[in-house]
Structure formats: C-alpha cells, structure tokens
Structure 1
C-alpha cells in the first residue's frame, strides 16, 4: 500500500500512513500557515478502492459535522472536511501515542489506572451526549462504537475518544436501521443489537464491556470459540455475565451498566463515573503522568531507535471488529 501514498491531500503534504481499516485509512500530514507555521494533523479518507462509495462518504461527512461541534479534552477534535480529486476527507487531531486496545494487549494496567482511563472516557461521553444544536436543544448524540480501539492515549497521558462516523442524533430523521448495527459487535448494547431506539445509556453498556475487558483481559459476553453470531445472541438475551474476576468493589458498578434495560443502568455517564471513583478512590489521584508512564512501558517494544513509537494510532470508521 506504500506505493500509492499521495504527496498531498488538498493543501496538506502527506508524511506517512498511520493505519487503515476495511474501507478507510488515516494519514499523517502537515497543516501549513504563514511565517513558517505548521502543525501535524491526521487525515481520514476512503481507501482508493472505495473512493466514491456513497455510504462511506456519508459517514465521513457525519463525522466532520459532529466533530465540528466538539471542544473537549477527552474527545478528538475535527478541524475540517475537504474534497480532493472527487473524494471527501476529514482533518482531525493527530494524537501521538496508541489506542487503548493496543496498549492493554502489551501491558495490563492496574485496576486504579483502568478506572481512571474509563472515567476520562465517561467525561468525553457526557460532553458528547449533552451537545446542543444551534437553538440550544440537546442533539441526543449516541457514539454507538465505544471500544478500546476507539480510545486514543497520547504520549503525554491524555485520553481521547475518537471516531464519530456513526454517532447519530436521536431527534434527527435518518436511516436508523442502516446505522444501528455499525460498531464492533462485542461492545453493542442489547437495544443496539435489536435495532431499538438508543440514548446515551447504550454507550454506557459499551463502556461496561470495555471496563471488564481492561480489568480481566476478556470481554464479558465472549465464549470459548464463539463467533459474532453467538456473542450477539448472548448480548440480545442479556444474560448476566460472570463478573467474579473483577475487584469486588467494582462488581456492582459493572453489573449495573451491563443490565439489559437502559433504565436499569446508571442515569448517565457522569453518574457512572462517580460510582467508579467512589468504588476505587485511588483512581481519582491519578492523572496524565501516571497514564504516560504506563503507556511508555507498554509501547516501548514498538519504538524506534529514538524512542518514539513506530506508529501513532487513529482508528478509522471502517475498522473491522476483532
């Protein structure tokens, strides 16, 4: 794929490819300005084979529109939407570091640090869920794809939720059925699997799955040798998972956000965050320095001779579920 790396996308000189999913890729590029000003940005665009794909273009446009409203330390900012040789692309923050899925596979975090990481994601989700339209009405946005691969951790210890390509405003008309099954299947809520209307409590279910995975190394609804259909069926039936491997103080918090009915979960993302920090007070004393130290250990084997990571990860809308 290196042979088809463009010299530039629109006005942005391209430096290298950061990663790709099934239908889209993310490139590292420079944004240039007057008097030698420059900054690094990430550019998401369809893979050449999918250029002109109407559905993918719609997702990119949706991601840009949602991202344009976002200004929060725990959410990746979107800076613009462009058109290059007839293909849309999105310009967004470049987060130098790695995604949480990569990091947890290389070096497990202690429970207090896991709770801190999840608490940061919940702050970002609360902001996303509360975003208003131009008239001040809540947009009712639901992320729909909360998972470790969509959580980016910078080298400085910042935690940012990415990928708004399938976020959807609940009050807007649209093709709900086309969106409802997007996202990584193992993190979907029962109502998402069933195609029912969603609100922010659906994202809370995905956070619960992620919390269990980060603490135990295993997703709560996975079975030995199960494929997607079996996992989805188990989620649809909402069988209470075995959470006995979790730290005892965290079991009630995880159990509540994994309940079948949204109204039985925590009232909102902030309430879940408060419950987590109450259950593990040590997490409230952690911050970017501790996250950065953990990430440095996790990512060190992948660094180059200068100590910098070989790649900095920004996930794409079309990443395949694992």
Structure 2
C-alpha cells in the first residue's frame, strides 16, 4: 500500500478500503459440503486460507451457524505451515472469554486443515472505519474508547490465562489490527485470529522468525526484531485508537520501508499535534 499517513479524507487508503482479506464482501455461490460442515458462503480470503460462513447439523432440527477457516490445499501440504496453524489452534482453543472468538474444532478433511470457530454477526473494525471515512462521518470518542476497552479485556485475559496445569500462558497476540477486531450488530467486541500469537510455553524456534502482523500496526520492538511482551499489543491498540478518532493512518508511509521506519521512530507527538480535536485526556493515553 503506497500512501502517506495524513492525506485528506478520500485520498489516504484507510483500513478496509481494500477488497481483499477478511474484510472482503461475501461471495455468493452454491453451498458446498466440507466434512460435516455445509459451507454457505465465502466471507473472507487471504494468501493462505479461506474463511466461510458455515452450518453444522445434528439430531432433529439442531443446527449451528459458525465459521470455517480452511487452509488452502497447497499450504496444507507444507509441514511448517501446518505446524504454525496447529499452534494457533493449541494457543486459542483454551481461551474462553466474551471478547475472544471461540475455537470449536481443529481437524482436517482429506488432508485439508481447518478451524471451526464462533460466527460473529457483524463487521470488523476495518470495514467500520472505511465506511465512516466514505460517508465523511467520524467515530464518536466514547464509541472508540468502548471498542478499545473491550479489546483490552481480551488481551488482559489472554496474557493472564493459564494452561490445564496452572502454568501462565502469557499469550501475546502480535497481530492486533482493525481486521482482527470484530463488532457484532448487538454491540459485542471480539478479538479474532491468534494465528501469529505466541505463548510463554511456545519456543521462538517453533514460531519461526520474521515480522509477524500487519506492518502499520507493529510495535517498534517487532520492527527491530526484539523480544516482545504484552506491551507490544497495547502499542498496536494505541495505533488503532488514534485511527478510530482521526480516520487517518498513523504510521503508514509511501513504501513498506517508510512504514517500518515510521513505526520504529514512533513520533506520536508530531501526529497528535495535527489533531487538536482529540480530547486531552485521550491524547495523554496515546
């Protein structure tokens, strides 16, 4: 994505302006059977997986609507990727919290791995921000603070969660970004996609090297390749709060390299000075 971080509204690509990824519009088509799940429609896709709205049926008239995240077949044959996907399932499945998307099952059908998870009837924050930008409307401060507060609850819970033996997991999401924050039409806020999360019980070697997460929402520690803790997730969440309030990208540069440099330098004060509409109390948090 090539754009400056503070151009006039309608020029700067905001989260959700793109049509790819989890924010893609549903793809209509004939329902298809995948194991015990009936895939109703594709609601997202990426370079490595597809996401479907699905239904599973049981005895009598029982049925449950959920989401199936299915790895593309080519990646299902890659042992290292399968290991990473398995790690996501192992890390996320024990987490039971109102602000975290629940994982129901991890399995494979004819060699194609998938996750079955909670369906959230709503939109991700990326699409909400893009829609607000398109309509020329701002996100109210109290709404932005509510969303961020609910995400904080999820991150606190994940970091303080314990395994079945009582050992602290200290889970760090490492990809806190608008597309991974789901907002239901009932006002619930849930964090999704712990695909690059890391627990204290997972070694660095198991997770692999390289940058994890979307460039514009990384922390300086991630950019510099240093060890990260829960404060890295909070830094990413601070970026999201700024962008909710301003509908401007905080660190996005004209190139990926410039974006990384902007994150590394983290000159937040300079950017806050351009937005006096942000309440002082909120600016102090940022």
TM-score range, shorter-chain basis? Answer: 0.7 to 0.9
Q: Is the 8 A contact 1:189 1:202 kept in 2?
A: yes
Distance (Å, rounded) in 2 between the aligned partners of 1:5 and 1:201: 44
Instruction: Determine the structure 2 residue equivalent to 1:238.
Output: 266
Richer in helix (by share)? 1
Distance (Å, rounded) in 1 between the aligned partners of 2:131 and 2:189: 17
Alignment match of 1:197 (pick from 223, 227, 239): 227
Q: Is the 8 A contact 1:180 1:193 kept in 2?
A: no
CA RMSD for the aligned pairs?
2.1
> 1:171 Cα shift?
4.2
In the alignment of these two chains, the number of paired residues is 252
Instruction: Determine the structure 1 residue equivalent to 2:61.
Output: 36
Q: Which moved more, 1:130-139 or 1:233-242?
A: 233-242
- TM-score by structure 1 length? 0.73
1:25 aligns with 2:50: yes
- The within-5 A match list for 1:264-275 is none
Distance (Å, rounded) in 1 between the aligned partners of 2:175 and 2:61: 38
- The within-5 A match list for 1:1-322 is 7-107=32-132, 108-175=138-205, 178-223=208-253, 226-241=254-269, 242-244=271-273, 245=275, 246-254=278-286
Task: Tell me: higher relative CO, structure 1 or 2? Use CA pairs within 8 A at least 6 residues apart.
Answer: 1
Segments of 5+ residues of structure 1 without an aligned counterpart are 255-322
> 1:51 Cα shift?
3.6
> 1:57 Cα shift?
2.0
Distance (Å, rounded) in 2 between the aligned partners of 1:114 and 1:68: 28
C-alpha change, 1:213 and 1:2, in structure 2 (3 Å) is: closer
Distance (Å, rounded) in 2 between the aligned partners of 1:174 and 1:190: 18
Say which SS state the counterpart of residue 36 (structure 1) adopts: coil
Q: Is the 8 A contact 1:145 1:182 kept in 2?
A: yes
Distance (Å, rounded) in 1 between the aligned partners of 2:28 and 2:234: 41
> 1:49 Cα shift?
4.5
Detail structure 1 runs of 4+ shifted over 4 Å in the superposition: 1-6
- TM-score by structure 2 length? 0.82
Tell me the alpha carbon deviations over residues 25-61 of structure 1, each in whole angstroms, 9 at most, x when there is no partner: 1011112122221110100012344342334322321
Distance (Å, rounded) in 1 between the aligned partners of 2:191 and 2:107: 22
